[in-house]
Structure 1
Amino acid sequence: MSEEFRTEEEQVEAIKSWWNENGKSLIVTIAVVLAGYFGWNGYQDNQRAQGEAASSIYQQLVNKATKPLSEQTEADKTEMEVVAAQLKTEFPGSLYAQFGGLYLAKFAIEANNFEAAAAELQALVDAGNKGPVTYLAQVRLARVLIQLEKFDDALALVATTPEASFTAQFEEVKGDVLFAKGDLSAALSAYQTARTSAMALGINTQVLQRKIDDLAGAKLANTDA
């Protein structure tokens, strides 16, 4: 309504005319905007509530899972599996669901059920999410595949390090795979790379050093022979 009005009557008539032409669409627009606003707030509230619920369930899982294995009862193990599965089913697509998958794989490994562990970890890798959980799943899956003697598949998972902070883990597992395949020189090189990266990050290198020492000794023995 940009027209310049000369009298109040003309303004009133113009307002009436404009309202008749545009009033309904304006009401609809306002309704949509308000619905969007309150809908978005409702969505945020729902997301917040979902996050709090998932966090609470996850904390229950962590509290039980951090108990020493020797102190965990069969009832504890069953409950942990149920809670981990609950995180996956009730909060799909969330970080908590990914944590649930990692824990289910952990429980399967502890039960020597490597096929089940591999399935859980493969699902996390296949989800295609980039980030620490996926990278950790790759490392753990590679370790499981070593147990299943699927060495080439394991090596493919750790062939390329996704980011510097995971170099130590990827290279150590790469060394484990190469050692299992009998390639001692390549395994030693991978362990040494892992040690260098771990030291730079302030990570304990005792296990890596032991692997390096054992391999160096084995190579020396082979040379002497």
Structure 2
Amino acid sequence: MATPLDLQEQEQLDQIKDFWKRHGTLITSLLTVALLIAAGWNGWNWWQRSQAAKAGVLFDEIDRAVSAGDADKAGRVFGDLRDRFGGTVFTAQAALLAAKVQLDKEQADAAAGTLRWAAEHAADEGYRRIAGLRLAGVLLDQGKFDEALAALPKDSEGLFAALGADRRGDILRAQGKHAEAITAFQQALAAFGSEGDYRRVVEAKLIALGAPQPSLPAASGAAQ
């Protein structure tokens, strides 16, 4: 004869069976999706680590080429790194290194191409801005003033805004647009603030253009 406990257990089993009959397929599907997501995430992390490791090997090759002053090899290895691992930070760093040795070996067009890629495609925004500033400098030296202005990073803040304004002033001064250059250098000063050796460089540029010698901002906490 069934006891009350047996009947209670049977009722619970019936409830579980009924619940599983109604929701089992959904639960199984959700578990499957969760497992697939977890497996995919682990696979993605492994792939990212693998890509970074392979990119690191090529970066070391570029570093050695730069140390040896071999611009041609640095350019070739950078091209391989760019095509295979363009989304890694190593590639952005390698672009700056390769461009430097290319400039040292008077390969300005090659350096401009390397920097242009980094300015447009580097995974890290900071590297894109650095590359844009350096590209603008290369184009300025080549007398390509409009291209140099276009290469300057947009919507920069802080130090990048100061460096961008200073470089814009250099380009405008080279074009003979002295009034606009003074405005750009003044914007650079405002962004640099009152500290740093770079401020004195910008001040010297303003003085050379005949602008009034800028005064330093009042020190914080100065007497009123």
Matched with 2:85 is: 91
TM-score, structure 2 normalization: 0.67
Secondary structure of residue in 2 paired with 1:162: coil
Measured in 2, the distance between the counterparts of 1:14 and 1:199 equals 73
Deviation at 1:181, TM superposition (A): 0.9
- 1:76-102, CA deviations, whole angstroms, 9 ceiling, x for partnerless residues? x44433443343223222332222333
Residue number in structure 2 paired with 1:8 = 9
Task: Report the number of matched residues.
Answer: 206
Q: Is the CA contact (8 Å cut-off) linking 2:129 and 2:153 kept in structure 1?
A: no
Question: Mapping of 1:1-225 within 5 angstroms?
Answer: 7-16=8-17, 19=20, 23=24, 26-55=27-56, 57-58=58-59, 61-62=62-63, 65=66, 67=67, 72-74=68-70, 77-127=71-121, 131-158=125-152, 162-191=156-185, 193-194=187-188, 197-198=191-192, 200=194, 202-204=196-198, 207-208=201-202, 211-212=205-206, 214-216=208-210
Deviation string 1:148-192 (CA, Å, 9 cap, x unpaired) is 322123234449661121233212222221222122343345345
Counterpart CA distance in 2 for 1:58 and 1:198 is 33
Task: Give me the whole-angstrom Cα distance separating, in 2, the residues matched to 1:50 and 1:7.
Answer: 59
Structural RMSD (CA): 3.7
Give the TM-score of the pair, scaled to structure 1.
Answer: 0.67
Tell me, what secondary structure is at the counterpart of 2:47?
helix
Is the 2:62–2:98 contact (alpha carbons within 8 Å) kept by the matching residues of 1? no
Cα gap change, 1:173 to 1:196, in 2 (>3 Å) = same
Deviation at 1:129, TM superposition (A): 6.9
4+ residue segments displaced more than 6 Å: none
User: Is the 1:139–1:173 contact (alpha carbons within 8 Å) kept by the matching residues of 2?
Assistant: yes
Distance 2:69 2:110 in 1: 21
Unaligned 5+ segments in structure 2 are: 1-5, 212-224
Unaligned runs of 5+ in 1: 218-225
- Residue 144 of structure 2 aligns with an amino acid whose one-letter code is K
